[in-house]
């Protein structure tokens, strides 16, 4: 238990001390994310908060993990570093989707091949149990990449991605703590501590954004935790997974996962790039109903936690029934939110989808404080 508290304390302290420094440097160098037609914030805010999250997370892990007992842990840190530099470059300069995808595949390769984390069984989902090696690898890579991108895409209102990431890492961490899997609960609680500190500055009104640096990091760490939760592999005291573990793991990540898959499906159905911007995310639907950033965050997290409790208590029903039930409930809520939002919001979203924006050479711009005040007025 001491190592849990230590990882939490170290990661929280490092991030808490780093964020104000990052904000001050961004103001000195005039590094801001400027509002435009598809962004929700109205003032220029720096998106470099992921640097502070990464610093706290890495120090929390390195100072508390015994690498002799966890040889695979070095590859998790390596994957996190790949994602960190990928996200940092994307926060400063625009990266093409292809280059971004290649970086994510590299991180997934480090986790799956060297870290030896892989989904070998579907645990009875639609009657499927053990998977052939090729299908196992394909599903594992797909799962890592989808989870990484899901946290990136759900980062749309103040505090949402950070709170969801903290919730999911805490739940995984509690499980691994009960199972005595020290490297994994340290990984989880180090991320949890850094996100807790970051949220002090990110809750509405946000003083800083996590950017792709932070959201992609949350995604890759939760991908590691989710895959290990679903398929614990070989080792003392944890060779047998929890009943309906895919359903529980899926539900822990349900908001970012299902929202991402839903939005991608809509864009592909409309013959648009899945990476093209729109206002179809769940937080957009709730914003259009007049809910504040804080209310949206707390509501979605409360729904997510409630569903996790339900699935855990009903795990005897089996993986298939539980996953289908979660999907059905989620899309029922989406349908209600979509059809009850104002008509003018639907028109605005349609207009936005038809616009073709020029790709900027830089996401961060420099401009003087007076011009910022003119934009606000």
Using one digit for the tens of pLDDT, what is the confidence trace for 136-184? 999 999 999 999 999 999 988 889 999 999 999 999 999 999 988 888 9
pLDDT, one tens digit per residue, over 302-323 is 999 999 999 999 998 989 999 9
Q: Which residue has the higher pLDDT, 328 or 363?
A: 328
Measured between alpha carbons, how far is 200 from 211 in angstroms, rounded to an integer?
16
199-202: long-range contacts (C-beta < 8 A, 24 or more apart)? 199/159, 199/162, 199/163, 199/166, 200/16, 200/19, 201/19, 201/20, 201/23, 201/49, 202/49, 202/158, 202/159, 202/162
Q: Please provide the average confidence, as pLDDT, over all residues in the chain.
A: 84
CB of 285 closer than 8 Å to CB of 341: yes
- Residue 248 and residue 81: Cα distance in Å, rounded? 28
Q: Answer yes or no: is pLDDT of 361 > 90.
A: no
Give which of 166, 148, 188, 179 is closest to 297, Cα–Cα. Answer: 166
The structural domains of the chain, with segments of one domain joined by +, span: 2-376
Instruction: Write down the pLDDT at residue 373.
Output: 37
Instruction: Specify the pairing of strand 121-125 against strand 128-130.
Output: antiparallel
Contact 207, 45 (CB under 8 A): yes
350 confidence band (pLDDT: 50, 70, 90):
very low
What share of the chain has pLDDT > 90, as a percent? 50
Question: What gap in Å lies between CA 154 and CA 150, rounded to an integer?
Answer: 6
Query: Token pair 């709170």 is at which residue?
Result: 163
Instruction: Please give the Cα distance from 136 to 118 (Å, whole number).
Output: 7
- Say if residue 357's pLDDT is above 80: no
Q: Which of 86, 73, 129 has the alpha carbon at shortest distance from 246?
A: 129
Which pLDDT score is estimated for 344? 53
Q: What is the pLDDT of residue 363?
A: 60
Q: How far apart are CA 253 and CA 270, in angstroms?
A: 26
Query: Residue 125: beta bridge partners?
Result: 128
Q: Which two tokens stand for residue 247?
A: 């359903």
The 10s digit of each residue's pLDDT in 206-244 is 889 999 999 999 999 999 999 999 987 654 445 456 778
The mean pLDDT value for 268-286 works out to 80
Q: For 121, list phi and psi in degrees, rounded to 5.
A: -140, 145
* Whole-Å CA distances, 102 to 98, 292, 318: 6, 36, 36
d(CA 155, CA 35): 15
CA torsion through residues 186, 187, 191, 194, sign: positive
Cα separations in angstroms, 98 against 95, 101, 102, 142, 176: 8, 5, 6, 16, 35
Angstrom distance (rounded) from CA 189 to CA 166:
9
CA atoms within 13 A on the CB side of 347: 3
pLDDT for 348 equals: 46
Tell me what percent of the residues of the chain surpass a pLDDT of 70.
Answer: 84
């Amino acid at each position: 238990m001491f190592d849990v508290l230590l990882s939490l304390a170290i990661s929280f302290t490092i991030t808490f001390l780093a964020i104000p420094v990052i904000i001050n440097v961004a103001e000195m160098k005039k590094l801001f994310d400027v509002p435009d037609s598809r962004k929700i914030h109205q003032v220029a805010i720096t998106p470099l908060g992921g640097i502070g999250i990464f610093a706290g997370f890495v120090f929390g892990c390195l100072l508390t993990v015994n690498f002799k007992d966890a040889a695979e842990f070095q590859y998790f840190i390596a994957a996190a570093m790949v994602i960190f530099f990928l996200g940092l470059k994307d926060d400063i300069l625009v990266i093409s989707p292809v280059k971004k995808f290649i970086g994510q595949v590299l991180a997934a390769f480090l986790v799956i091949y060297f870290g030896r984390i892989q989904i070998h069984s579907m645990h009875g989902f639609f009657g499927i149990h053990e998977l052939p090696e090729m299908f196992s690898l394909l599903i594992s890579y797909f799962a890592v990449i989808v989870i990484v991108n899901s946290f990136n895409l759900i980062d749309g209102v103040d505090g949402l991605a950070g709170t969801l990431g903290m919730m999911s890492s805490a739940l995984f961490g509690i499980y691994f703590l009960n199972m005595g899997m020290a490297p994994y609960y340290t990984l989880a609680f180090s991320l949890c501590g850094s996100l807790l500190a970051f949220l002090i500055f990110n809750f509405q009104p946000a003083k800083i954004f996590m950017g792709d640096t932070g959201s992609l990091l949350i995604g890759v760490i939760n991908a590691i935790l989710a895959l290990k939760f679903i398929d614990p592999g070989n080792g003392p005291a944890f060779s047998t997974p929890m009943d309906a573990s895919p359903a529980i793991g899926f539900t822990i990540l349900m908001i970012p996962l299902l929202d991402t898959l839903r939005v991608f499906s809509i864009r592909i159905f409309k013959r648009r790039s899945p990476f093209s911007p729109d206002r179809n995310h769940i937080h957009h639907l709730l914003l259009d109903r007049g809910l504040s950033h804080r209310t949206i965050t707390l509501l979605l997290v409360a729904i997510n936690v409630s569903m996790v409790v339900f699935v855990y208590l009903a795990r005897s029903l089996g993986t298939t029934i539980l996953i289908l039930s979660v999907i059905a409930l989620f899309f029922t809520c989406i349908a209600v939110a979509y059809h009850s939002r104002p008509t003018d919001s639907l028109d605005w979203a349609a207009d936005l989808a038809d616009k073709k924006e020029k790709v900027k050479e830089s996401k961060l711009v420099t401009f003087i404080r007076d011009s910022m005040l003119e934009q606000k007025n």
